[in-house]
Amino acid sequence: MQEPAVVLLSGGLDSATTAAMAREEGFAVHALSVDYGQRHRFELEAAARVAEAVGAVEHRWVAVDLSAVGGSALTAPLEVPKDRSTDEMDRAIPITYVPARNTVLLAVALGYAEVLGAGDLFIGVNAVDYSGYPDCRPEFIAAFAQLANLATKAGIEGRRFTIHTPLIELTKAEIIRRGTALGVDYGLTHTCYDPNDQGIACGRCDACGLRLRGFADAGLVDPLPYQE
């Protein structure tokens, strides 16, 4: 029997690749999508498509209304920055940073893992093309693993939790190449912070910029349509 693993699935390129890698490692994928009050739902629809494509055993949704605490362009009505160079992105943590987002995501994933009897969690964080988010760094992940062992009934009973971050040291181009080799259909994913009403990506926000440069660097064509 396959070991169960909880895989956090946003519906983006990184989490789609992470799910494919978890399956490749032999885990039964239990996909978990957290709706933290995003302003658009297209990435949640993408998560459902990706979960099905990767052969997830199940796909759960947890609503966490982070819009009630605000503080981010992704959960509050602030302007999403556009047309920034990689240098500009590197200069400061952008307003698309969601306070404590990955702490919340991993906390919910930990609860789900405990219910399943799983000790393995997958999250597609990346410390290379990471937009400066503090909760994408290896030291954050290590601290969360320590916390998980102390936080849970399973931990007290001796289970050691492992937080798998297979993308953490990869460039966007390497992620795309790896996923393509595993058969990931990136046409099912959604990346854009600011799509139009039909869910078509803007091609100009930081997330679109990183994605498009990743495909270009990988020498591959992004199957997604863009507004321009």
Based on the shown chain and the rule CB under 8 A, indicate whether residue 144 belongs to the binding site for its own copies. Answer: yes
- Tell me how far apart the alpha carbons of residues 205 and 195 are, in angstroms, rounded to a whole number: 9
Based on the shown chain and the rule CB under 8 A, indicate whether residue 110 belongs to the binding site for its own copies. Answer: yes
- Tell me how far apart the alpha carbons of residues 130 and 141 are, in angstroms, rounded to a whole number: 14
Q: Nearer to its own copies by C-beta: 110 or 173? A: 110
Based on the shown chain and the rule CB under 8 A, indicate whether residue 151 belongs to the binding site for its own copies. Answer: yes
Give backbone dihedrals phi and psi of 221, rounded to 5 degrees, phi first: -105, 130
Looking from the CA of 77 toward its CB, the CA atoms found within 13 Å total: 0
Looking from the CA of 27 toward its CB, the CA atoms found within 13 Å total: 24
Among residues 1, 77, 150, 219, the one that binds its own copies under rule CB under 8 A: 150
Based on the shown chain and the rule CB under 8 A, indicate whether residue 31 belongs to the binding site for its own copies. Answer: no
Q: Is 30 helix (H, G, I), strand (E, B) or coil?
A: strand
Give me the least distance between CB of 64 and its own copies, in Å please.
5
Based on the shown chain and the rule CB under 8 A, indicate whether residue 28 belongs to the binding site for its own copies. Answer: no
Among residues 41, 156, 183, 196, the one that binds its own copies under rule CB under 8 A: 156
Q: How many residues bind its own copies (CB under 8 A)?
A: 44
Among residues 23, 60, 172, 178, the one that binds its own copies under rule CB under 8 A: 60
Based on the shown chain and the rule CB under 8 A, indicate whether residue 59 belongs to the binding site for its own copies. Answer: no
Based on the shown chain and the rule CB under 8 A, indicate whether residue 171 belongs to the binding site for its own copies. Answer: no
Here the tokens at position 133 are: 């988010």
Based on the shown chain and the rule CB under 8 A, indicate whether residue 61 belongs to the binding site for its own copies. Answer: yes
Based on the shown chain and the rule CB under 8 A, indicate whether residue 139 belongs to the binding site for its own copies. Answer: yes
Q: Nearer to its own copies by C-beta: 160 or 181? A: 160
Among residues 120, 135, 194, 222, the one that binds its own copies under rule CB under 8 A: 135
Q: Is 137 helix (H, G, I), strand (E, B) or coil?
A: coil
Based on the shown chain and the rule CB under 8 A, indicate whether residue 134 belongs to the binding site for its own copies. Answer: yes
Q: Nearer to its own copies by C-beta: 3 or 65? A: 65
In this structure, is the dihedral angle defined by the CA atoms of residues 108, 112, 211 and 80, taken in order, positive or negative? negative
Contacts for 105-112: CB closer than 8 Å, 24+ residues apart: 105/8, 105/34, 105/36, 106/8, 106/144, 106/148, 106/163, 108/32, 108/34, 108/62, 108/64, 109/6, 109/8, 109/32, 110/148, 110/151, 110/152, 110/161, 112/6, 112/30, 112/32, 112/60, 112/62
Contact residues toward its own copies (CB under 8 A) are 60-66, 68-71, 93, 97-104, 106-108, 110-112, 114-115, 134-135, 137, 139-140, 143-144, 146-148, 150-153, 155-156
